[in-house]
Amino acid sequence: MDGPLLIIVAVVVVALIVGLVLWQRSSTHPVEDTTPAAPPIRSVLGSAIRRALASGLDDATWDEIEAALLAADVGVEATSDIVSSVRQSRPESVDEARTAIRNALRAELVEADRSLILTGSPASIVIVGVNGTGKTTTIAKLAKRFQDSGKTVTLGAADTFRAAAGDQLQTWGDRVGSQVVRGQEGGDPAAVVYDTLESARAKGMDVVIIDTAGRLHGKKNLMAELQKIYRVAGGDEVSEVLLVLDATAGQNGLAQVREFSNAIPISGIVLTKLDGTAKGGIVIAIERTLDVPVKLVGTGESLDDLVAFDPDAFVDSLME
């Protein structure tokens, strides 16, 4: 190969590599603000463990620790495994026991990418969950977060079952400055999803967030409806399917994750109202049993009260 040809080949190769990198950046961009804040749990677990350990390390201590873990919603299986693994490690001091419990709790959390992956243009996020868990509020918080990072957002009101749901989403949309696409009350929710995506595409929006129904009665219909929404939203192409779960629902939350997971592939959990519980162990129970990562945590009712879930900070605040 002579000189000029070699230079041309080199230029083409470099251009291809640069193009590939730029293309990857534009099609996959994790949420910019993943700065995890320490979740504001006023956990009773730490003080209960301290009380149990105050009397030394005998059988009664381990019973008390077991009771404390159960009371914090960690779940029966995880509690039993944590206590037996810590006992087997034969801690020689109270400090060693505390550290071993902390590490055992941390080991129960899955190793997963907890950032939101936004693929596609627009990226699509489907929000599911039982009514009252905080879906609409979470959508508004997410929309604000994306907009603060320079992205444009369209909201889709696919809970056509309740007129109030569409109104509520519209109110939040107006407040955060996101366009809201709505349908007829009682109309086909999947048609709203279709219209939302069409509108967002036409306007070149970056992210679409779809609100869905979460009625507890008529579950079978709801799950079929969610499957259709998922298909119309792009199926495998959907960037995230986030299940909103109320941290104060305790073990009930596990049943909800199971139910929704059977209908559509949940990519992450948004755990709301963590500010309203002194337990928090439900995170351990969920990740252990269902292998779905908690990605975000709701820490209050205002728009900025949404933080990325940090497993280390979480376990530390559980043990505080």
Task: Indicate which single residue of 280, 299, 315, 318 sits in contact with ligand GDP (rule: CB under 6 A).
Answer: 299
Nearer residue to ligand GDP within complex by CB, 82 or 213: 213
Task: Indicate which single residue of 43, 61, 79, 137 sits in contact with ligand GDP (rule: CB under 6 A).
Answer: 137
- Kindly state the DSSP code that residue 209 receives in the 8-state scheme: E
Residue 117 near residue 28, CB atoms below 8 Å: yes
Q: How far is CA 45 from CA 11, 196, 245, in A?
A: 61, 44, 21
Measured from each CB, the residue nearest to ligand GDP is 298
Binding of residue 160 to ligand GDP (CB under 6 A): no
Task: Indicate which single residue of 47, 103, 131, 289 sits in contact with ligand GDP (rule: CB under 6 A).
Answer: 131
Binding of residue 133 to ligand GDP (CB under 6 A): yes
Residues 188, 194: Cα–Cα separation, whole Å: 10
- 308 sits in which H/E element: strand 306-308
Binding of residue 273 to ligand GDP (CB under 6 A): yes
Which range binds ligand GDP by CB under 6 A, 9-17, 132-140, 180-188, 223-231? 132-140
Amino acid type, 213: A
Task: Indicate which single residue of 46, 122, 298, 311 sits in contact with ligand GDP (rule: CB under 6 A).
Answer: 298
**Nearest distance, CB of residue 40 and ligand GDP, angstroms:** 10
Q: How far is CA 305 from CA 23, 46, 49, in A?
A: 33, 24, 29
Strand residue runs (E) in the chain: 28-30, 117-119, 123-128, 153-158, 179-181, 207-212, 240-246, 268-272, 294-298, 306-308
Binding of residue 132 to ligand GDP (CB under 6 A): yes
Residue 295 near residue 272, CB atoms below 8 Å: no
**Nearest distance, CB of residue 301 and ligand GDP, angstroms:** 4
Task: Indicate which single residue of 272, 292, 307, 317 sits in contact with ligand GDP (rule: CB under 6 A).
Answer: 272
How many residues make contact with ligand GDP (CB under 6 A)?
18
Nearest-5° angle of CA 100, CA 105, CA 110?
A: 130
Tell me which residues touch ligand GDP (CB under 6 A).
129, 131-137, 214, 272-273, 275-276, 298-301, 305
